[in-house]
Structure formats: structure tokens, C-alpha cells
């Protein structure tokens, strides 16, 4: 089966899970859609039969109710039995099965059908809510073209996206989504990376610049040499990490999971006591039916759905919200850690600063800068690049008679018959000499990111009481940057081992969780050591994505306070869901024990509370942390 036939089959809807990943994804979506449709049809049919039963009597009434019960309850009963037999455990489906079968046995068939019907409605709403949360994440990154146009043998060929290989040159027209990581070899454009980084403004790119899968080419046609196909692209790797984020569960989530297992067993035991022991001790045998009804109602009201669904859904929604803001949080445990953040340690270069030199001061006037730029014109040294950027004008190379570069010392050039020397000193300062005499100096420094000061201020406002700089740079340079952004605790001239040792001291002295923020490449050991490792500018960086717990994709430090806000809101919603579900169920249980609540109230306390808890959980998805 060739690639062309695969695409043709895909276009005409002849899907086969073996033909290509596009068709496999399409089949998965169609399968999920058909399951939801089937659920809706079953609920409507059962609801119609249930409604019709109110207008009938005798055998027909039982037939209608029985049919409605089996339509919505068949799968629930089968799943409950399978879970009991194969896993030797009981879950909410088991509780529903016992409660409704028991209700039928004591002649409360109408209530049994109502319980199963509303339970099925609740399950449907849960599925829809979970699917909405999942789609909100996959929609960020999974929008990829099914095909790509490649230049092969001098011709343009359209092939399935999975057929594009490393080294191929792809032609991406304006408006098309880039489906792979690559380097532009022809053309220039602006790329919208909002799906990846959350940054709304497109970035300008030209020949030699990197582009990443998931971005949208907004203006001109470009030709891109593929460095990594879609399956290995930044977008695909990030999406995989987000979808697998639930594997790193938060303590709250793990507690709820363990609690639900024991809780369900305890509920069944209590229901048995109420149904079979209480009648004996009350001394009224004729009340057995009433006590049994109360026991069955307890099974319904005590179903742990609201806990086991809303808690993980809240965390997952928080992860989705962070993704929309250009923040990759790799597990629900990291959300809980960020919510409790009380200390942050940061690297300087590439975190607070841009990681590239810039001219901060010229002593001696414009002529000093001009002569330095001419002398440095043929050098590729970072200092030379910074001086040329600061000069910002074309260099007339006809005026340069000769030039030479001396490693580690500087450059010399003969310009207009005079020897110009640019001597590179320590601490980001260079001396400019003409005919052996110093005529001025140029001060260079690592340029501060525009949002660094805002980020540090934002952390303080969120209760992060301790911010420390851990830098490998000289103490003078580190303290200058720290003073600019408002950090008083500076520890400089540190090796990677030294950073780890200092961070261990901070962790030991700190009561809450401690984060380290670095570039994700040089700081891998200290990122791994921190309670929360935060990597800056992870887009395209394997080290960042693999090592850190949190990856800020667009290199903006101000995203860190945003991540903390989202995490705090998410954890607050989790606690709200748990408290609301517990109090609502407890109230109905108390009323039910005194015979003041029946199965209808129990249905609300189970299905109704679950739905409300889910809707509350989805607030984390739509939270705006701006």
C-alpha cells in the first residue's frame, strides 16, 4: 500500500487502523463520537419508557420499567460483576447495581429505574466534561495537516505527513500549519507559535532560523529543511507529556484514590448493618422493609463518583489552562508543589537575562563605537557581535586595510592608515586604542529580560518569601543584575556542584516547596534536585523537556507567577469539590438515617453533586491568570 493510496482512502472515508496514523486518529475520534451517540440514544429511549410507565398499570407498567432499567443498567451491572470477579473489588457501579436490584426486590421499581437512569445521565455528563478537558489540551498542539508538500527531484510532491523524513525540504505556504521542527532554507515570514508558547504575537523568521511543529506560517511562503519529523517534533513531545501528566499524581489525588477504595467497602458494610442489624435491635420486625430501603438508599448517596472524578479532572483542567498560557506542567504533583511554593532559586544567564552580551555604555563618544565596530567587523566573537549590533550601521569594508584577531585578547585593524586595537578585558569591558593610545572604553553586559523585574515582584505578591540567585558568573555581574530586579540574596561564582549544595541548604531551611529556575541545559542536576524544577525556553530543548517538572516554553520568566496562580486556583477548586461533595452527601445521609430522605434525594446527592463538582472542576480550565 503506497502513500498516495493511503491519503486517497483517508479522503474518501475508507479508514483502516493499519493504513496510516491519520486514519487511526480519525477512527479513534469516530469511535468516541459513536459511543456518546449510543449513550444519548439509550438514555432518551429509557427516559421515554420511564415516562410512559406513569400512564400504565399492571403488567405493562412492569414491562416498561423493566425495559428502561435494562437499557441503561445492563452495562453497569455487567461491569460491576466483572470488577468483582476479576479484580475482587467493588466500585460505584457495584453500589448502583446492589441498590437498584434491592429496590426492585422490595417493590420500589420506579425508584430503581430512576436511580439507574439518572446515574447514566451523570456518567454521560462526566464523559462529555472529561472529553472537553482533554480536547482543550490536544487542540493546542494536535492540529496538524494530514499532508505536506515536499521538493523532491525538482518537483513539488504532496505526501502524508508521516511520509516526510529528516532532510526533506518542505514548502509551507502562508496560512499553513508547520508540522515538524526544521530550519528555513528559503524565504522569510512571521510564525504564530501561540499554540505552543501562549505568545499571541507572531515572531519574524528568515533563512537560518528554526521553526517548530505546531506553529502557523502567517505571511510568506517558506522552504524548510526538516530536522525532526512530526512524531519527534517539539509539539508531539510536549503533547505526549501533557497527556501523560496524570501519571505523576498529586498527594491529594493519591489520597482520594486510596480513600475511595476503603470508603466503598465501609459504605457497603454500613448499609448491611442498617438493613439487617438495625431491625433486630429496634425490636420491630415489621420495619425490616423500611430499614432495607434505608440501607439501599445509603448505597446510592454514598457513591464516591464526585470525589474520584472531580479531583483528577480539576488537576487535569489546571494542566490544560497552563498549557494555554505557554506553560508545560508535567504532573499533577507539580501543580500541588507550585501552589505551596515558598522559595525560588534562579540562575542568572538565560533566566533573568537574555544570555547574550549587549553594549550598556560607551565612554568616549560615537567615534569610539564606530572604530570598534570596524575593527571587530570580521570577528565572530560574542563581544564583536554585540558591538556591531550597537553600532547598527553598515560597515564600509573598503576603509579596512587589514585586520587580525588574537584569541582571548582582542582584535587589531588598520583603518584609514591608523592602527585600531580593541582589547578585551575582564568584567565585560573593552578598551579601544588608536595608535597605541586609549581613546575610550565600551562596557558590555548580559542584557536583562524585559519581564524579569515584573516576575520577581509577582512572586513576592504570591507569598514566595524567599528568592535567591544562584549564578556561575562573577560576583560583580551577578549582584548588578540582582539589584536591578530586586533580589537581595545572591550566591555567585558557583560550579554546578556548588549550585546543588546551595540549593540543598535552601531546601533544608524552607518550610514549603522550593523551585529552581534554569535554562534546562546547563542546570540539569540542580533542576532535578529541586522540589519543582522549572526550565526556561524549553521549545526545541530536549534537556529542558526531559529534566524539568515545569517548562516555560517562550522563555518569559513572568510565566512563573502565572503558573503559581493557576496552581493555587486549581488546588482551591479541588478542595472546594471535595468539601462540597462530602457535606452534601453527609447531609442526605443524616436525613436518610432518620427516614427523612429517600432515593430521590440520594440520586441528587450522588449524580447531582457529581455533575456540580465536575462543572466546578472545569473552572480551572477556563481560569484567566492575567
The pairing of strands 400-406 and 410-415 is antiparallel
Cα dihedral: 519, 525, 526, 531 (round 10): 110
Which of 394, 430, 435 has its CA nearest to residue 409? Answer: 430
Q: How many residues does the chain have?
A: 626
Cα dihedral: 311, 312, 314, 316 (round 10): 170
* Separation of alpha carbons 171 and 184, rounded Å: 10
The pairing of strands 410-415 and 327-329 is unpaired
* Separation of alpha carbons 535 and 543, rounded Å: 9
Check 162, 168, 347, 531 and give the catalytic one: 347
* Separation of alpha carbons 510 and 343, rounded Å: 7
DSSP per residue over 429-464, as a string? Answer: EEEEEETTEEEEEEEEEEEEPTTHHHHHHHHHHTT-
DSSP class of 178: P
Q: How far is CA 29 from the centre of its chain?
A: 22
From the CB of residue 484, how many other CB atoms can be counted at a distance below 10 Å? 14
DSSP per residue over 278-318, as a string? Answer: HHHHHT-GGGHHHHHHHHHHHHHHT-THHHHHHHHHHHHHH
* Separation of alpha carbons 485 and 463, rounded Å: 17
Q: In what order do the strands lie in the sheet with 203-205?
A: 203-205, 189-192, 216-217
Cα dihedral: 154, 159, 165, 169 (round 10): 30
Helix H, strand E, coil C: the string for 46-111 is: HHHHHHHHCCCCHHHHHHHHHHHHHHHHHHHHHHHHHHHHHCCCCCHHHHHHHHHHHHHHCCCHHH
Residue 513: what are its φ and ψ, rounded to 5°? Answer: -85, 150
* Separation of alpha carbons 176 and 157, rounded Å: 16
DSSP-based three-state secondary structure for 148: strand
DSSP per residue over 372-412, as a string? Answer: HHHHTTT--SHHHHHHHHHH-S---GGGEEEEEEETTTEEE
Question: If residue 234 lies in a helix (H) or strand (E), which one and from where to where?
Answer: helix 234-243
* Separation of alpha carbons 365 and 432, rounded Å: 11
From the CB of residue 354, how many other CB atoms can be counted at a distance below 10 Å? 16
DSSP per residue over 478-496, as a string? Answer: HHHHHHHHT--EEE-S--H
* 347 noted as active-site residue: yes
76 and 119 in contact (C-beta within 8 Å)? yes
Phi-psi region of 275 (alpha: psi -120 to 50; beta: other; left: phi over 0): alpha
Q: How far is CA 31 from the centre of its chain?
A: 26
* Separation of alpha carbons 380 and 385, rounded Å: 7
Residue 555: what are its φ and ψ, rounded to 5°? Answer: 70, 15
Which of 196, 191, 69, 84 has its CA nearest to residue 143? Answer: 196
| Active site positions, annotated | 347
Amino acid at each position: 500500500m503506497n502513500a498516495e493510496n493511503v491519503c486517497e482512502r483517508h479522503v474518501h472515508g475508507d479508514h483502516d487502523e493499519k493504513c496510516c496514523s491519520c486514519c487511526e486518529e480519525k477512527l479513534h475520534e469516530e469511535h468516541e463520537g459513536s459511543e456518546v451517540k449510543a449513550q444519548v440514544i439509550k438514555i432518551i429511549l429509557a427516559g421515554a419508557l420511564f415516562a410512559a410507565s406513569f400512564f400504565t398499570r399492571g403488567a405493562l407498567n412492569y414491562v416498561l420499567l423493566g425495559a428502561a432499567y435494562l437499557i441503561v443498567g445492563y452495562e453497569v451491572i455487567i461491569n460491576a460483576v466483572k470488577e468483582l470477579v476479576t479484580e475482587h473489588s467493588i466500585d460505584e457501579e457495584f453500589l448502583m447495581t446492589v441498590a437498584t436490584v434491592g429496590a426492585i426486590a422490595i417493590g420500589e421499581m420506579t425508584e430503581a429505574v430512576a436511580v439507574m437512569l439518572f446515574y447514566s445521565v451523570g456518567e454521560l455528563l462526566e464523559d462529555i466534561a472529561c472529553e472537553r478537558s482533554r480536547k482543550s489540551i490536544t487542540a493546542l498542539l494536535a492540529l496538524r495537516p494530514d499532508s505536506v508538500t515536499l521538493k523532491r527531484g525538482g518537483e513539488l510532491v504532496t505526501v502524508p505527513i508521516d511520509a516526510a523524513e529528516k532532510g526533506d525540504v518542505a514548502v509551507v505556504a502562508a496560512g499553513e500549519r508547520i508540522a515538524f521542527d526544521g530550519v528555513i532554507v528559503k524565504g522569510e515570514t512571521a510564525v504564530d507559535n501561540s499554540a505552543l508558547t501562549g505568545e499571541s504575537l507572531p515572531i519574524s523568521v528568515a533563512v537560518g532560523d528554526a521553526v517548530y511543529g505546531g506553529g502557523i506560517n502567517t505571511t510568506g511562503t517558506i522552504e524548510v529543511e526538516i530536522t525532526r519529523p512530526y512524531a519527534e517534533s517539539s509539539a508531539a513531545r510536549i503533547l505526549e507529556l501533557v497527556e501523560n501528566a496524570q501519571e505523576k499524581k498529586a498527594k491529594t489525588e493519591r489520597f482520594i484514590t486510596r480513600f475511595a477504595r476503603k470508603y466503598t467497602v465501609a459504605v457497603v458494610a454500613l448499609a448491611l448493618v442498617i438493613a439487617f442489624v438495625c431491625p433486630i435491635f429496634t425490636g420491630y420486625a415489621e420495619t425490616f422493609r423500611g430499614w432495607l430501603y434505608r440501607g439501599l438508599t445509603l448505597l446510592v448517596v454514598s457513591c464516591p463518583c464526585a470525589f474520584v472524578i472531580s479531583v483528577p479532572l480539576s488537576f487535569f483542567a489546571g494542566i490544560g489552562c497552563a498549557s494555554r498560557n505557554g506553560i508545560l506542567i508535567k504532573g499533577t504533583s507539580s501543580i500541588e508543589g507550585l501552589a505551596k511554593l515558598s522559595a525560588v532559586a534562579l540562575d542568572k544567564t538565560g533566566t533573568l537575562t537574555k544570555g547574550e552580551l549587549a553594549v550598556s555604555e560607551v565612554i568616549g563618544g560615537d567615534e569610539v563605537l564606530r572604530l570598534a565596530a570596524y575593527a571587530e567587523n570580521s570577528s565572530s566573537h560574542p563581544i564583536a557581535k554585540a558591538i556591531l549590533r550597537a553600532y547598527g550601521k553598515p560597515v564600509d569594508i573598503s576603509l579596512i586595510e587589514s585586520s587580525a584577531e588574537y584569541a582571548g585578547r582582542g582584535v587589531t585593524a588598520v583603518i584609514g592608515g591608523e592602527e585600531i586595537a580593541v582589547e578585551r578585558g575582564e568584567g565585560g569591558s573593552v578598551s579601544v586604542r588608536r595608535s597605541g593610545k586609549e581613546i575610550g572604553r565600551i562596557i558590555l553586559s548580559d542584557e536583562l529580560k524585559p519581564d524579569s523585574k515584573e516576575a520577581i515582584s509577582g512572586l513576592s505578591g504570591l507569598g514566595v518569601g524567599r528568592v535567591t540567585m544562584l549564578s556561575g558568573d562573577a560576583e560583580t555581574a551577578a549582584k548588578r543584575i540582582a539589584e536591578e530586579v530586586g533580589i537581595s540574596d545572591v550566591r555567585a561564582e558557583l560550579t554546578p556542584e556548588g549550585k546543588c549544595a546551595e540549593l540543598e541548604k535552601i531546601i533544608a531551611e524552607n518550610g514549603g516547596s522550593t523551585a529552581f529556575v534554569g535554562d534546562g541545559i546547563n542546570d540539569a542536576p540542580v533542576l532535578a534536585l529541586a522540589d519543582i524544577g522549572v526550565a526556561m525556553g524549553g521549545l526545541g530543548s530536549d534537556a529542558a523537556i526531559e529534566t524539568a517538572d515545569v517548562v516555560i516554553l517562550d522563555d518569559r520568566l513572568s510565566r512563573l507567577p502565572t503558573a503559581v496562580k493557576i496552581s493555587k486556583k486549581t488546588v482551591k477548586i479541588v478542595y472546594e469539590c471535595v468539601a462540597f461533595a462530602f457535606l452534601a452527601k453527609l447531609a442526605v445521609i443524616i436525613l436518610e438515617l432518620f427516614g427523612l430522605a429517600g432515593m430521590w434525594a440520594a440520586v441528587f446527592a450522588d449524580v447531582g453533586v457529581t455533575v456540580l463538582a465536575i462543572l466546578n472542576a472545569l473552572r480551572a480550565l477556563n481560569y484567566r491568570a492575567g
